[in-house]
Structure 1
Amino acid sequence: MAEIWGRAEQQDFRSRVRGCLLGGAIGDALGAGIEFDSLAAIRAKHGEAGVTDYVPAYGRRGAITDDTQMSLFTVDGLIRAHVRRDTGTWHPPTDVHRAYLRWAATQADWGPDERDADAGWLAREEWLYSQRAPGRACLSGLGDDRMGTLAQPKNPGSKGCGTVMRSAPFGLLVGWEPGLVCQLAVECAAQTHGHPTGYLAAGALAVLVHALAHGNSLEEAVQQALTQLAVHSGHEETTQALRSALEAARQGPPSAARVESLGQGWTAEEALGIGVYCALVAEDVRHGLLLAVNHSGDSDSTGSICGNLLGVQHGETALPPAWVVELEGRETILQLADDFSMQMTQGAALTGASAWLSRYPVSG
């Protein structure tokens, strides 16, 4: 695709990719320290405005959770899929599944296995070897080597938000058609969560990110997601969550009460609805992210989804610098974002490059 990407387009795309990944991680980190607290408890501890900055979690400020961990491995899997395509083989769900298995190893092992030549560079990042309240369905779905599929999904009754919080990177496949982006996110979500709402919410977020990456407004992106959802059976809960987010945005000034009217975010459609609502009514990135985390529920996941949306919409320079510099793993996130951008825009020039294949081995 290098021939059709001008320099300005490449720079814009890289800014949106960085914004999406960093924005999601910032929202994740803002919610990490209050994830299991009620709104009343948050306000009692942090003041009537709730949290207005990072609060300590996992021994530091700016700590990310499993939401960001899994999102990074989604990106790793997508890069490897494209590297593998350049070598003549192509099945992205398998590459993403292998990446998720590498994430699962970070939740069980003490550290990276330096003897594993197929691990690639991301799986050798020691700071990722830390449990950050991973979801049970994600762990059990990746507890063996069998890949869940739509025909035989893992955890067929689960619709937890562990699908949607990791699925924004699929939307960054801007050269794909929206329906294919949605389908890939859905297939990869079924690897851990088999309820239609669980995997369709993941597909919807991917379509939202895809539309925003193409310069559409968030309202236009929601309409595109609704169109894609309509062709899938079992879409009703996810469709209603998006419609409820649109309706809440029209009802008046944004508030925590309106956020909580959409649910708590523990399920996939509620997390999606809250993240979309907060991005819709955001005055700026800071306002949207703080609204997304100050509620009684899964604050890190709703913050992450809102951050993905605002980040891809406005690019990395719209993110509050003080939050960027204190974010755990910022260097890793930026390296991965830039590698993804380079593979998508200049992949042909990387074909066969030994250093690139060392970072993203085709055998892994």
Structure 2
Amino acid sequence: MSANAATAIWDRVEQQDFRSRVRGALLGGAIGDALGAGIEFNSLADIRAKHGAEGVTDYVPAYGRRGAVTDDTQMTLFTVDGLIRAQVRRDTGAWHPPTDVHRAYLRWAATQRDWGPDERKPDAGWLAREEWLYARRAPGRACLSGLGDETMGTVERPKNPDSKGCGAVMRSAPFGLLVGWEPELVFQLAVECGAQTHGHPTGYLAAGAFAVIMHGLARGESLDGSVQRALALLAARPGHEETADALKQALGAVRQGLPSAERVESLGEGWTAEEALSMGLYCALVAEDVRHGLLLAVNHSGDSDSTGSICGNLLGAMHGETALPPGWLAELEGRATVLELADDFAMEMTQGAALHGPAGSTPAWLERYPRS
């Protein structure tokens, strides 16, 4: 495969491997999100008292059902939608992915205030017409306020300049799936899109670091090597210290003994960007398999759905969709939508030139992902 996203040539095996990793990343993140959704605000002691010494070992009811996802998965899906739209709109000569992702986040914000899809907006695309997404699942204040108007935050003029909550990092896995991009560009795009809601350097730099780690995994590289690349890119950025230290703490915790909930909690609670990234990363590093890693990532006193989501993104990208526990997949809310969007993303990245371009475009694709 070429390093240039516009001219990449993929053989069939590469396409199949990439699609499996995209599916794994998005479905894995959603599963981790759903596992943590029902215990997000509970202490470890309360979790063990209610669910036993091992904590939760399966989905527990949240938002009226088992397998329910939260704003973490919602926003991740709209990140994917924005990235596809950016690729499609590139045909017009307009190429500014942060703008397309911001517009996608505004469509997510509409799902948090509207009763359902507005059929009068034909340019909304298919994802914004999915009725199940019109549900409030404890969205972060910074995400809501940062997207409360149409002004786009930038690194120079960020929204919520004091916020370093995990709301930017938990939605940033899809940037890492841009495997035809160079790591530096993936990092920069995730940073710019993070600043649209979380303006503290830690808030958006953690998003950039997570995207670069995902990028390495999506390319088939090792998790440890991907973390080292993220640390190298962070080093040149002002205000990187908290994020870099959190990554190093996750690496160090691996060498401190057998994995445990208490060791996860030594890295924080996950409410801030650097803690959520550190905790999710540690659980992925020590995971015996996807099930073990995800349960470790959610059984703690803190932001269980976000740490579970981050760990699931990492393990899914690393091992592909077939490594995901089928029982959890079967009950996952919105599974069909996640899978459809994952396949659309993989198709756009590997075969986009056949879907739209100067020689002609597929009308059905432009209806799904309008250029306007």
Are the aligned partners of 1:25 and 1:304 in contact in 2 as well (CA < 8 Å)? yes
Q: Which amino acid aligns with 1:342?
A: M
Alignment map for 1:43-82 (pairs within 5 Å): 43-82=48-87
TM-score when normalising by structure 2? 0.97
Query: Could you tell me which residue of structure 1 aligns to residue 365 of structure 2?
Result: 356
Post-superposition, which runs of at least 4 consecutive aligned residues in structure 1 deviate over 3 A?
A: none
Deviation, structure 1 residue 219: 0.7
**Correspondence list, 1:215-364, <5 A:** 215-351=220-356, 352-363=361-372
- The alignment's TM-score, normalised by the length of structure 1, stands at 0.99
Shift of the 198–3 alpha-carbon distance from structure 1 to 2, 3 Å rule, reads: closer
Counterpart of 1:360, as a letter, is Y
Partner of 1:11: 16
CA distance in 1, matches of 2:229, 2:23: 23
Matched-pair contact (CA < 8 Å) for 2:8–2:180: no
**1:95 corresponds to:** 100
What is the aligned-residue RMSD (CA, Å)? 0.7
Contact 1:2 1:347 (C-alpha < 8 Å) held by counterparts: no
Distance 1:281 1:193 in 2: 29
The yes-or-no answer on 1:201 pairing with 2:201 is no
**Aligned positions of 1:96-115 closer than 5 A:** 96-115=101-120
Letter in 2 for 1:329: G
Aligned partners of 2:309, 2:22: CA distance in 1, in Å?
Answer: 14
Quick one: distance in 2 between partners of 1:337 and 1:271?
A: 24
Distance 1:336 1:170 in 2: 14
Whole-Å separation in 2 of the counterparts to 1:229 and 1:28: 27
Match of residue 178 from structure 1: 183
Distance 2:247 2:167 in 1: 18
Query: Residue 147 of structure 1 corresponds to which residue in structure 2?
Result: 152
The letter of the residue matching 1:47 is G
User: How far does residue 353 in structure 1 lie from its aligned partner after superposition?
Assistant: 1.1
Question: Alpha-carbon deviation of 1:324?
Answer: 0.6
* C-alpha contact (below 8 Å) 1:211/1:221 kept by paired residues: yes
Cα contact 1:2–1:346 (8 A) shared by 2: no
The aligned runs of 1:110-125 (5 Å cut-off) are: 110-125=115-130
User: CA offsets, 1:26-49, max 9 Å, x none?
Assistant: 000000000000000000000000
Aligned equivalents of 1:211 and 1:297: distance in 2? 28
Q: What amino acid sits opposite 2:308 in the alignment?
A: G
Task: Output the amino acid matched with 2:59.
Answer: Y
Aligned to 1:191: 196
1:89 to partner: Cα distance: 1.4
- Aligned length, in residue pairs: 363
Cα distance in 1 for partners of 2:180, 2:279 equals: 28
> Within 1, Cα distance between the matches of 2:225 and 2:32?
23
Distance 1:350 1:2 in 2: 14
> Residue type of the partner of 2:186?
V
Q: How far apart in 1 are the matches of 2:94 and 2:152? A: 18
* Aligned-partner Cα distance in 2 for 1:283–1:314: 12
Question: SS at 2:228's partner residue?
Answer: helix
Q: Name the % identity.
A: 80
Partners of 1:284 and 1:59 in 2: CA distance: 29
